């Protein structure tokens, strides 16, 4: 019934087509929450304990907004990643990358790195472009890896697609952070032309009361 569409795209379509003013998400990750906020921009409740995590988003601005999640300070590489907009040529398979020593991230285990890219293209093969986050070692070994394609997300009315990827900095990060490199890059798998309009990074203190309960 759903064909080859990703769960993220199905979620996006579902949220986009809702005819209500409020949306409740439980145990959601920052990627899904940011998609929700494209259509329900206001956070009006944020409840987090060791066992409970839910947020209420609204299309209507409340008199008092809920507290947002804590954002940790980004390393210099992520604060000033490059100049935008950046045209991407079809011959450039890896057109943009940012990396830093994982040891420079002064964050607790359980933090989420969220990368938000604004992409524009009229080429269908550009849908294969991926936003990748990986944790790698000096000898090329991969400790963790995650990627999302442009095709996982819905384009906006101006043909701009908000492309998200996220990495949960969990066990691998805690174990290898002193020797690993954290990488964020675009992989132009379809060898298509497109434009990277902008890119933003967030280090989110995700569900702190759960992941840091015993600290």
C-alpha to C-alpha distance for 1 and 102, rounded to whole angstroms: 42
Beta bridge partners of 47: 54
Q: Is residue 36's pLDDT more than 80?
A: yes
C-alpha to C-alpha distance for 95 and 100, rounded to whole angstroms: 17
Q: Write out the E strands in the chain.
A: 22-26, 42-48, 53-58, 71-72, 86-88, 96-101, 111-120, 130-136, 142-149, 160-169, 181-187, 194-204
Question: Looking at domain 71-211, does it have CATH number 2.60.120?
Answer: yes
Q: Give me Rg for the CA atoms of the chain.
A: 18
- Rounded to two decimals, the pTM is 0.92
Kindly compute the dihedral angle of the four CA atoms of residues 153, 172, 140, 87, in this order, to the nearest 10 degrees: 30
C-alpha to C-alpha distance for 95 and 29, rounded to whole angstroms: 27
Q: Which tens digit of pLDDT belongs to each residue from 142-200? A: 999 999 999 999 998 888 999 999 999 999 999 999 999 999 999 999 999 999 999 99
Q: pLDDT averaged over the chain? A: 92
Q: Where in the chain is the domain with CATH 2.60.120?
A: 71-211
C-alpha to C-alpha distance for 204 and 88, rounded to whole angstroms: 29
């Amino acid at each position: 019934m759903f064909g080859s569409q990703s769960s993220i795209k199905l979620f996006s379509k579902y949220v986009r087509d809702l005819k209500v003013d409020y949306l409740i998400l439980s145990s959601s990750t920052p990627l899904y929450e940011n998609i929700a906020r494209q259509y329900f921009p206001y956070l009006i409740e944020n409840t987090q304990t060791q066992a409970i995590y839910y947020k209420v988003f609204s299309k209507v601005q409340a008199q008092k907004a809920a507290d947002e999640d804590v954002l940790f300070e980004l390393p210099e590489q992520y604060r000033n990643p490059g100049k935008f907009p950046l045209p991407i040529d079809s011959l450039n398979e890896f057109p943009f990358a940012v990396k830093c020593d994982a040891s420079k991230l002064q964050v607790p285990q359980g933090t989420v790195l969220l990368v938000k890219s604004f992409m524009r293209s009229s080429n269908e093969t550009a849908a294969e472009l991926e936003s990748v986050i990986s944790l790698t070692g000096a000898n090329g070994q991969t400790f963790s890896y995650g990627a999302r394609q442009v095709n996982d997300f819905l384009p906006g009315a101006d043909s701009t697609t908000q492309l998200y990827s996220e990495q949960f900095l969990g066990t691998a990060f805690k174990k290898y952070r002193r020797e690993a490199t954290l990488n964020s890059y675009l992989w132009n798998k379809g060898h298509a032309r497109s434009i990277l309009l902008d890119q933003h990074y967030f280090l989110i203190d995700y569900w702190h009361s759960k992941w840091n309960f015993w600290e």
